[in-house]
Amino acid sequence: MYNSPKLSVVGAGPGDPELITLKALNTLKDAKVVLFDALINRELLEYAPQAEHIFVGKRKDKHRYSQDEINELIVKYALERGHVVRLKGGDPFIFGRGSEEINYAKSKGLETAVVSGITSSIAVPANIGIPLTQRGTSESFWVITGTTTQKKLSEDVRLAAQSTATVVILMGMAKLPEIVDIFSYYGKENTPVGIIQNGTTNNEKSGFGMIKSIEKVVAEKQLTAPAIIVIGEVVRESGQLKAVLENSIQESVIINSPFGG
């Protein structure tokens, strides 16, 4: 049965298929076409067996469709089939270009809806025990894109490095050396850092250290994108960082011991 042309931009959450909202699931069940991104959990497509599933994901330098082409696909399928769901990782309005797609659909006369998702910037750190705010430690947090539309590191990173707030950087792995340089410039060499790759999924990997050591940690653990960088004293709340620090102390004691090798 055909229904009226409509676009729903839906947040799929951070990766764990159970971290999607009930409203998002109900919206998927009503879809005629699902245009989905690279970072969504494919298990979620099982909630829309009645719909056609079309991959339109974009990863670094590997775009199946340009954003303009995705906008055109949305309108095309909405006019032909009815309800189109645009399924995006995390929350579609946090560096997800969701508002651009909504505005384009509206300009073409489509009915639109937004279903918020659990953003990875909060859920991924929380999943490994890092609170972005904590009484007496961090009163606020920044969420910054690591790569701007000009392919540069956001200028906000420099401002954030001068604050006492927690700093969460998305899409920043390629800019990690530059991030380290900025925080080091402002005397933050000993600030804790956690990097979480594929957060909340079965493929999750993480590494912990300080600004001065995190590049070595990334190399040793072979961490790559997609990953979230969390910088700030709250990272100490993770049991994994505590273990790293304890090991470092033990190694230092052995090296400096008169009986050490």
Active site residue 175: no
**Which residues have C-beta within 8 Å of that of residue 201, sequence separation ≥ 6?**
15, 16, 41
Point out which residues pair with 192 in neighbouring strands. 210
**Which residues have C-beta within 8 Å of that of residue 103, sequence separation ≥ 6?**
none
Tell me how crowded residue 69 is: count the other CB atoms within 10 A of its CB.
12
Catalytic residue among 16, 32, 91, 171: 171
The secondary element (H helix, E strand) that includes residue 226 is none
Three-state DSSP state, 22:
helix
Distance CA 261, CA 253 (A): 11
Catalytic residue among 6, 37, 88, 91: 37
- Only one residue has tokens 């990173």, namely 157
Instruction: Please give the single-letter amino acid code of residue 33.
Output: V
Burial 164-179 (b: 16+ CB within 10 A, else e): ebbbbbbbbbebbeeb
Whether the CB-CB separation of 59 and 89 falls below 8 Å is answered with no
Active site residue 30: no
Active site residue 173: no
Whether the CB-CB separation of 22 and 117 falls below 8 Å is answered with no
Catalytic residue among 58, 108, 205, 221: 58
Whether the CB-CB separation of 124 and 199 falls below 8 Å is answered with yes
The secondary element (H helix, E strand) that includes residue 174 is none
Whether the CB-CB separation of 127 and 200 falls below 8 Å is answered with yes
The residues carrying an active-site annotation are 37, 58, 171
